[in-house]
Structure 1
Amino acid sequence: MRRRWLFADQLGPHFLDEPGQPVLLVESKAVFRRRVFHRQKAHLVLSAMRHLARDGGDVRLVRAETYAEAVTEPVTVCHPTSRAARDLVKRLPGVEMLPPRGFVTAPQDFVAWAHGRDHLRLEDFYRDARRRHDVLMDGAEPAGGRWNYDADNREPPPARLDVAAPPPIAEDEIDEEVRADLDRWEREDGITFLGNDGPRLFPATRAEALARLRHFVKHRLPIFGPYEDAMLAGNPFMAHSMLSATMNLGLLDPAEVIERSEAAYRKDGVDLRSVEGFIRQILGWRDFIWHLYWYFEPSYRAANELHARRELPAWFANLDAGAVEARCLSDVLAGVRDHGWVHHIPRLMVLGNYALQRGWRPGALADWFHRAFVDGYEWVMTANVVGMSQFADGGRMSTKPYAAGGAYISRMSDYCGGCRYNPKVRLGDDACPYTAGYWSFLARHSTELAGNHRMRRPLQGLGRLADVDAVVEQETARGSRAP
């Protein structure tokens, strides 16, 4: 049997044809020279690879400057997750590329579903995937009689969310070795990282991944749904699964995550609203984003329909939470700095929302998310950031810009009570940068958004503001300063 070359995001058993298949792993230092990744992301990836090399049987780990130097024998490899990696595989002699694994819907099924559609929408794809894979279905009908419980899963946060912490990670000698190597790379090789080092928070082995999955399904999934969109200061994890980095390393097959989650509803009586909401994130959103990366043209990443030209300011790019007075933005940046992870609402409605309002370059923002998050990869962040968060594709995969003022953050979090800014104020020293930024964004883009039916009411509200010119002037003067 030919040796299977596994990329660093293909580390689970479902990427092998059978147990015991010989494996090639390549640890390329050039990857870390090209981009400044979060220190904890670099640690997690290297730890996961080295643990597999130690525990995985016939595994050959080659440390080299580039992949091409290390692949010197005929191997097979599953379809990589980036265009650059796919192009590399095609150039290397003796490498046979197999169909992709690690996702639920096959590429040909997505293409058949997408063909001829003017707009690609998650809800349409998700319903097709539910039927196709018989997930949460009672015959021909959705379990519980509804496809989507999203409207029930938008509760504001409680004063305190009592949820069991996930099983802690016990670092070992491999983690010590990785940390020493990263220190040496910084000291001797000029390789730099983003964010703070810290104890490893996410699984690097199959055993750790399964333990996290079992714990989530039993202890966190039952209360996940109602508060999945809520935020609490100092709590970047809430009741979320914290499995995204694990699935994106390939340590868990999303199909097994979905199967165990549905069993929690069928056998254990876990609230369908929570189960459906979680499965929608994996069977729906995760697969949807993966397929859009390949379905859209390569130039999609450069889309910029709103002509956002500003560069990311240094305080944001470097995770300088201490430079920011806006409590929500400071806390979320601190979460990324200290953990390399916050859940999807801080990403979309605090980080992405602020960038959208200020007109930062979508491609640069997508690259930052790729580098700053432990679960960030090019396929993950391209449509997530360019299409959904920044609306830079003009609505090809999202129905409206995800722009919101301070009222949304006030409703869905506890941030505003302790903040020096007032979410109800848009002009002056106490003006919330999100409230002011929201109206300034609408004013600057009212022409482009005029034909979007979901923006009709916000634009009507804009027309009633007597001080909109002053708000735009205020936000223009703010420029790239930290709020």
Structure 2
Amino acid sequence: MSPVHWLFGDQLGPHFTATATATATAAGGRPRNTRWLLIESRAVFRRRRFHRAKAHLVLSAMRHRAADLGGSAQYVEAETYREGLARAVGDAPVSVHHPTSRAALTLVNSLPQVTVHPARGFLVGHREFGEWAARQKGRLLQENLYEHTRRTHDILMDGDRPAGGRWNLDHENREPPPRGETTLGAPAPYRPREDEIDEGVRRDLDRWEREEGVTFVGRDGPRLFPASRREALAALDHFVTHRLAGFGAHEDAMLAADPVMSHSLLSSSLNLGLLDPWECVSRAEDAWRAGHVPLNSAEGFVRQVCGWREYVWNLYWHLGEDYRHRNELRHTAPLPTWFTELDADALGARCLSTVLAQVRDTGWTHHIPRLMILGSHALQQGWDPTEVTDWFHRCFVDGYDWVMLPNVVGMSQYADGGLMTTKPYTSGGAYIHRMSDLCGGCRYRPADRTGDRACPYTVGYWSFLNRHRARLADNPRTAQAVRGLDRLGDVAQVIRAHRDTGDAPP
């Protein structure tokens, strides 16, 4: 009897099937044709209100993978994973690679017929990370794991030294956008073409909403991100060939009319398992060594893939389930309706309205709008970090539990009290004005703290510092800003203005 291997919806690349095939071959002493099982669980979408573009992408990717595998794949549509597994194989043995969420791991571990193989799709395994963490003194710093990963995998190395002599070229990647320009001028990103599989997905989503009580947020269509291995490889090739060279310098900048700029748009493909991180960083390094891209662009992209992504993945497992409930700042305010409904048109603050519209229309923005527009506003308003984490998970096409839990609880909302970062990532309007064109044409002025045109981010920033003055005054990275509170003659008015706005759309 052929072995059965279960592919979750974020395990869709060849690195997930190749390992299972090799395992089956070794166990039997001769090649055996593995049967691939994919289960589409309706309950996943019934329990939580996902962005419709995300639901479309995941279902399209799963169905494309089943089509690529042909007759060796069994695709089951069921209410739950348990129901689908029982219908497909009964109590016959099944293998699966380590899932990417604690909930999924709990599920497969509860099924006696399921054998769990090691995780795939990452460069640093759980055991390797544990051994590395045991050698660290004090905090587990991202830059130290990044150096470790580059050394052990020989990525952007010249012998035992980093290419160019420095591990991190971030200081070269913080240029504001060119003044007076509405776009960065980068070549357009790769965009896939929808097919009959997408048509079927859209019909099913329409029927679920019409007949089965499943609801979504956001807009769907046309599909903007790869849903197959072929499309993902084409996107990677297009990025490295045409867009990577311009990525580095302006990767932290924002332009209203150019939300993509030179970003890769590969995160959803990586997180669906359509691409392996090794092939991404290898292509970037090859382009640099061939003289096609500058080092700061190649290193900046490599740092995102084998630095931050590996760090976040491993911290998700290392920090334990209790990390989900960390709330050191004791923020408990609920998310307002305009935010949960992605009602960008209700907002007067141009930066927040622009970015929320990007989420509504595409399910994506790059990392700086996520951190310094959406996350910063949530932090300043004192929203519940658990709710904020769930919102990011549901509303972004590349959002998964392992992605968003450390990124939001630790990086964005500082709810872990500094385990991941040395300071809260929030700012007044001056930062947004410097790094974007989003303040132009806004009803608010980034420098104003009081009055009808006071910037919500400037007001929110000083109010946040005042609210957490005792904690932040002892932090070397925020102490100077806290001292600045005492130099503000209008601080009482600022705090009062912040309180008066409440949950009103800014």
Bin for the TM-score computed over the shorter chain: over 0.9
Q: Show the counterpart of 1:83.
A: 102
Deviating 4+ runs (over 6 angstroms): none
Instruction: Please give the residue correspondences for 1:364-379 in structure 2 after superposition, counting only pairs within 5 Å.
Output: 364-379=387-402
Question: 1:380-417 CA deviation, whole Å, 9 max, x = no partner?
Answer: 00010000100000000111000100000000000112
Q: Show the counterpart of 2:13.
A: 12
Instruction: Please point out which of 241, 253, 264 is paired with 1:241.
Output: 264
Instruction: Please point out which of 152, 174, 181 is paired with 1:132.
Output: 152
Deviation at 1:179, TM superposition (A): 0.2
Deviation at 1:234, TM superposition (A): 2.9
Instruction: Please point out which of 157, 167, 171 is paired with 1:151.
Output: 171
Deviation at 1:119, TM superposition (A): 1.6
For the residues of structure 1 that align with 2:79 and 2:112, how far apart are their CA atoms? 18
Output the aligned Cα RMSD: 1.1
Q: Show the counterpart of 2:66.
A: 53
Deviation at 1:167, TM superposition (A): 2.8
Query: Could you tell which deviates more after superposition, 74-83 or 116-125?
Result: 116-125
**Residue 102, structure 1, aligned to residue 125, structure 2:** no
State the TM-score, normalized to the length of structure 2: 0.94
The one-letter code of the counterpart of 1:318 is E
- For the residue of structure 1 that corresponds to 2:452, the secondary structure is coil
Q: Show the counterpart of 2:29.
A: none
- For the residue of structure 1 that corresponds to 2:440, the secondary structure is helix
Q: Show the counterpart of 1:318.
A: 341
Instruction: Please give the residue correspondences for 1:152-191 in structure 2 after superposition, counting only pairs within 5 Å.
Output: 152-158=172-178, 159=181, 160-191=183-214
Aligned pairs, number = 483
- For the residue of structure 2 that corresponds to 1:76, the secondary structure is strand
Query: Could you tell which deviates more after superposition, 254-263 or 330-339?
Result: 254-263
Deviation at 1:269, TM superposition (A): 3.6
Instruction: Please point out which of 51, 66, 69 is paired with 1:38.
Output: 51
For the residues of structure 1 that align with 2:500 and 2:138, how far apart are their CA atoms? 39
Instruction: Please point out which of 295, 314, 324 is paired with 1:301.
Output: 324
**Contact in 1 for aligned 2:245/2:292 (Cα 8 Å):** no
Structure 1: runs of 5 or more not aligned? none
Instruction: Please point out which of 110, 113, 121 is paired with 2:141.
Output: 121
**Contact in 2 for aligned 1:225/1:278 (Cα 8 Å):** yes
**Contact in 2 for aligned 1:222/1:274 (Cα 8 Å):** yes
For the residues of structure 1 that align with 2:61 and 2:156, how far apart are their CA atoms? 32
Instruction: Please give the residue correspondences for 1:49-448 in structure 2 after superposition, counting only pairs within 5 Å.
Output: 49-57=62-70, 58-71=72-85, 72=90, 73-115=92-134, 117-158=137-178, 159=181, 160-448=183-471
**Residue 478, structure 1, aligned to residue 504, structure 2:** no
Q: Show the counterpart of 1:28.
A: 41
Question: 1:82-140 CA deviation, whole Å, 9 max, x = no partner?
Answer: 11100100111211000100001111111112225432221111111111111111111
- For the residue of structure 1 that corresponds to 2:425, the secondary structure is coil
**Contact in 1 for aligned 2:462/2:494 (Cα 8 Å):** yes
Deviation at 1:257, TM superposition (A): 0.5
The one-letter code of the counterpart of 1:443 is N
For the residues of structure 1 that align with 2:255 and 2:290, how far apart are their CA atoms? 32
Question: 1:137-177 CA deviation, whole Å, 9 max, x = no partner?
Answer: 11111000111110010111121311111233111111001
**Contact in 2 for aligned 1:427/1:474 (Cα 8 Å):** yes
Question: 1:324-380 CA deviation, whole Å, 9 max, x = no partner?
Answer: 010000000000000000000000000000000010000100000000000000000
For the residues of structure 1 that align with 2:259 and 2:158, how far apart are their CA atoms? 35
**Contact in 1 for aligned 2:190/2:239 (Cα 8 Å):** no
For the residues of structure 1 that align with 2:496 and 2:130, how far apart are their CA atoms? 46
Query: Could you tell which deviates more after superposition, 324-333 or 66-75?
Result: 66-75
For the residues of structure 2 that align with 1:9 and 1:52, how far apart are their CA atoms? 11
The one-letter code of the counterpart of 1:113 is W
Query: Could you tell which deviates more after superposition, 104-113 or 306-315?
Result: 104-113
The one-letter code of the counterpart of 1:432 is C
- For the residue of structure 2 that corresponds to 1:453, the secondary structure is coil
- For the residue of structure 2 that corresponds to 1:260, the secondary structure is helix
For the residues of structure 2 that align with 1:3 and 1:56, how far apart are their CA atoms? 13
For the residues of structure 2 that align with 1:93 and 1:29, how far apart are their CA atoms? 23
The one-letter code of the counterpart of 2:12 is L
For the residues of structure 2 that align with 1:363 and 1:27, how far apart are their CA atoms? 26
**Contact in 2 for aligned 1:167/1:211 (Cα 8 Å):** yes
For the residues of structure 1 that align with 2:68 and 2:119, how far apart are their CA atoms? 24
Question: 1:260-281 CA deviation, whole Å, 9 max, x = no partner?
Answer: 1111111234100000000000
Identity of aligned residues (%): 60
For the residues of structure 2 that align with 1:103 and 1:213, how far apart are their CA atoms? 17
